[in-house]
Amino acid sequence: MDLLHNSLELIEQYMILYGYWVVFFGVMLENAGLPVPGETILLVAGYFASEQHFNIALVMLIAAFGAVVGDNIGFAIGHHFGRAFLLRVGRYVFLTPERFAHIDSYFHKHGNKTIFVARFITGLRVFAALFAGASKMRWSVFLFYNVSGAIVWSIVITTLGYLFGQSLPLLVKWVGWSGTILLIAALLIGFIAWRIYRRKSASGTPENSEYPKKI
């Protein structure tokens, strides 16, 4: 039996023992930045709902609440400690002060959309809140799009588990592949946008819009 099947069996055993608490803490810890398979846990919870072990509406509510709590923890860490930490260790991961300034600029202009969409993208789901906090994104704006994204994400993922949970290993792989594809697409778009910005800067092309101080 492979690692995925073992992991799914372990998650199912914990759900039998601890019920909805596994959903809450699994989703919350993943969104706070810890390596916990929160999305997989939610898919399993959706499957449990289809087998009448859980209430599907309650699973969605708990998952959305856990995602919001976890992301707000990540945002708070980024806001109070993340900026100094990222600048200190940035030289080891090619995150120079200049590139961090680009991240600041990006979150000032597109942070709201990013927080909403990142929920469905592997990797970004974990780090988007941290970068939003480190970039001093306004918390009220972050909270609105964070809650909106958490609600949509919890409904979509729980429903997938509910409808297709009979083929749970295949479903987990399919959702994981989809998130990875979206991550690659996001990185490519970001790289192209960065190259365009660099080219404009090198040619002295003036910016069309003034840099907003706040979102």
The secondary structure of 113-135, three-state, reads: HHHHHHHHCCCHHHHHHHHHHHC
- 191 pLDDT more than 70: no
Residues in the chain: 215
Q: Is 63 left (phi over 0), alpha (psi -120 to 50) or beta?
A: alpha
How high is the mean pLDDT of the chain? 79
Tell me the pTM.
0.76
Kindly report, residue by residue over 160-182, the tens digit of the pLDDT. Answer: 989 887 777 777 777 766 656 65
List the one residue out of 33, 197, 206, 203 whose CA is nearest residue 106. 197
**pLDDT for residue 215:** 44
pLDDT confidence of residue 182: 59
- Geometric angle at alpha carbon 187, from 182 and 188, rounded to 5°: 95
pLDDT (0 to 100) of residue 208? 47
The Cα 132–Cα 145 span in angstroms is 12
* 133, 137, 141, 142 alpha-carbon torsion, rounded to 10°: -20
How many CB atoms lie under 10 A from the CB of residue 15?
A: 21
Whether residue 185 contacts residue 21, with contact meaning beta carbons closer than 8 Å, is answered with no
